């Protein structure tokens, strides 16, 4: 039976966690704290400032809520100490940069004595944090870092990551294209490592599956020539346009290049949006009422948390009640990253790095986003589905719904 969250308990534990962190920050921890272990300390590398700051919003609240019941029952049993320890979280700001992520890792390990580190701040900061953790030999878990970038930065012994592959994302989109009989695809992107990797995967997929691809080439993000890109797309008679750029830049492209004249059947924002605000920001630059994007998670996914037994709907309702904003896939990233880290510690029943990493390699748990099972690269991939954002005229707002989820095999959805 699914457990019901005790919100008074969660609020109390959140306050306790804040007070605990404040007290520990004000006194020397050093060797005394290490030998008189009172907590399992999980350090969170988060972008609390800079361009990736939306990824960090609500993180501490989500992590604390995920382990509230564990802490209510005195924590996780550690065999070497012959007792249970409660879990506390400490946070360090990556400032949305690789350098900031590395500095955050150093602080969390050297000043806060973190046993394990986690991050859900995107590819750039998560991989930088992983490199720093690898050097310090500290277990690290992330959700949402690009798998190709992760493998190129490795190999890692102490670091683990969950994300969907570009191939999985493209296959999810192709399910939708097949529904509409679409055969001609356009790709417009501003230069970045992620955009280049996605474009190459898209090209390989189209060649192997009979789609016609018109690629405008990677645009200079400082001075993109949208008009030339749109002309190439027009010459290719594309039916679907995939844009790999921020919502803000997509809106600018729509205004500066005559995308309206392409007569598109479908417009897909691949890299953005993750948040309702991104869609609202795009709308003024467009005259269409539907966008599509690939999502790693939706509240309708029929998976449950390994820590709380709650469904995505339960957690989305909690998030929206607490923050008064839409529950995006970032909620699942935060929650699942905590599930993985705590799952490894519970399995290891120890806090030394080798035991935790060994447990992570044999971890096989069902999470809010599906099965987590790491391979030899410390990677676990999960399925994708396609999300449709639609403008609702009566409420003058954007709403989201699953448009295609057939790549989620062996999963039963409640159809609308």
pLDDT one-digit tens code per residue, 278-298 = 666 666 666 667 888 888 888
Q: What is the pLDDT of residues 161-219, one digit of tens each?
A: 999 888 989 999 999 999 999 999 999 999 988 889 899 999 999 999 999 999 999 99
pLDDT band at 30 (very low <50, low <70, confident <90, very high): very low
Give per-residue burial for 131-146: e unless 16+ CB within 10 Å, then b.
bbbbebebbbbbbbbb
Q: Quick check: 1 pLDDT over 60?
A: no
Strand ranges of the sheet holding 266-269, from the earlier edge strand across to the other edge: 212-219, 184-190, 240-244, 266-269, 290-295, 385-392, 397-404
Q: What is the pLDDT of residues 260-269, one digit of tens each?
A: 888 888 888 8
Q: What mean pLDDT is predicted for residues 49-60?
A: 88
Q: What is the pLDDT of residues 6-28, one digit of tens each?
A: 443 444 444 444 434 433 333 33
* C-alpha to C-alpha distances, 20 to 25, 32, 57, 75, 106, nearest whole angstrom: 8, 16, 21, 15, 20
DSSP-assigned beta bridge partners for residue 293: 387
DSSP SS3 for 409: coil
Q: Quick check: 240 pLDDT over 50?
A: yes
Domains of the chain: 7-164+299-381 (3.40.50.2300), 167-295+384-404 (3.40.50.2300)
pLDDT band at 387 (very low <50, low <70, confident <90, very high): confident
Q: What mean pLDDT is predicted for residues 95-122?
A: 96
**Which pLDDT does position 62 carry in this prediction?**
94
Give per-residue burial for 18-51: e unless 16+ CB within 10 Å, then b.
eebbeebeeeeeeeebeeebebbbbbbbbbbebe
Token pair belonging to 156: 């890692």
pLDDT band at 253 (very low <50, low <70, confident <90, very high): confident
Name residue, tokens 């907590």.
39
Q: Over the chain, what is the mean pLDDT?
A: 85
Q: Is the distance from CB of 48 to CB of 56 less than 8 angstroms?
A: yes
Q: How far apart are CA 197 and CA 211, in angstroms?
A: 18
What's phi and psi for 160, nearest 5 deg? -140, 145
Return the closest-CA partner of residue 121 out of 378, 366, 337, 387. 337
Considering only CA atoms, give the Rg of the chain.
22
Q: What is the pLDDT of residues 289-336, one digit of tens each?
A: 788 888 888 888 889 999 999 999 999 999 999 988 878 888 999 999
**Which pLDDT does position 261 carry in this prediction?**
84
pTM of the full structure: 0.83
Q: Quick check: 29 pLDDT over 50?
A: no
**Which pLDDT does position 3 carry in this prediction?**
43
DSSP SS3 for 88: strand
Q: What is the pLDDT of residues 337-348, one digit of tens each?
A: 999 999 999 999
Give per-residue burial for 321-333: e unless 16+ CB within 10 Å, then b.
ebeeebbbbbbbb
Q: What mean pLDDT is predicted for residues 58-78?
A: 95
- 10 Å CB burial of residue 383 (0-12, 13-18, 19+) is buried
């Amino acid at each position: 039976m699914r457990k019901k969250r005790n919100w008074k308990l969660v609020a109390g534990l959140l306050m306790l966690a804040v007070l605990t962190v404040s007290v520990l920050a004000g006194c020397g921890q050093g060797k005394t704290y290490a030998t008189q272990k009172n907590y399992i300390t999980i350090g969170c590398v988060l972008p609390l400032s800079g361009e990736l700051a939306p990824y960090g919003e609500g993180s501490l609240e989500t992590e604390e809520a995920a382990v509230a019941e564990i802490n209510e029952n005195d924590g996780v049993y550690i065999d070497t100490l012959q007792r249970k320890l409660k879990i506390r979280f400490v946070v360090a700001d990556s400032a949305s940069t690789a350098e900031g992520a590395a500095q955050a890792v150093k602080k969390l390990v050297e000043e806060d004595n973190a046993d394990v580190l986690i991050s859900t701040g995107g590819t750039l900061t998560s991989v930088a944090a992983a490199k720093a953790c690898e050097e310090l030999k500290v277990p690290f878990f992330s959700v949402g870092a690009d798998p190709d970038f992760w493998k190129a930065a490795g190999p890692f012994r102490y670091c683990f990551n969950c994300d969907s592959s570009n191939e999985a994302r493209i296959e999810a989109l192709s399910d939708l294209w097949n529904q509409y009989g679409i055969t001609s695809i356009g790709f417009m992107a501003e230069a970045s490592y992620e955009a280049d990797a996605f474009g190459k995967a898209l090209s390989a997929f189209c060649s192997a599956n009979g789609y016609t691809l018109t690629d405008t080439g990677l645009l200079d993000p400082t001075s993109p020539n949208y008009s030339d890109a749109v002309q190439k797309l027009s010459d290719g008679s594309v039916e679907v346009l995939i844009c790999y750029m921020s919502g803000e830049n997509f809106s600018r492209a729509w205004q500066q290049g005559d995308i309206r004249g392409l007569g598109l059947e479908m417009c897909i924002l691949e890299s953005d949006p993750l948040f309702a605000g991104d869609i609202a920001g795009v709308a003024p630059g467009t005259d269409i009422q539907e966008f599509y994007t690939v999502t790693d998670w939706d509240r309708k996914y029929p998976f449950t948390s390994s820590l709380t037994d709650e469904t995505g709907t339960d957690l989305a309702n909690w998030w929206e009640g607490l923050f008064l904003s839409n529950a995006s896939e970032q909620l699942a990233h935060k929650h699942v990253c905590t599930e993985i880290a705590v799952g490894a510690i519970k399995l290891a029943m120890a806090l030394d790095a080798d035991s935790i990493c060994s447990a992570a390699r044999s971890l096989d748990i069902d999470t809010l986003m599906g099965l987590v099972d790491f391979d030899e690269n410390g990677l676990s991939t999960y399925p994708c589905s396609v999300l449709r954002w639609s403008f609702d005229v009566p409420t003058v707002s954007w709403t989201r719904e699953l448009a295609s989820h057939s790549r989620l095999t062996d999963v039963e959805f409640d159809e609308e």
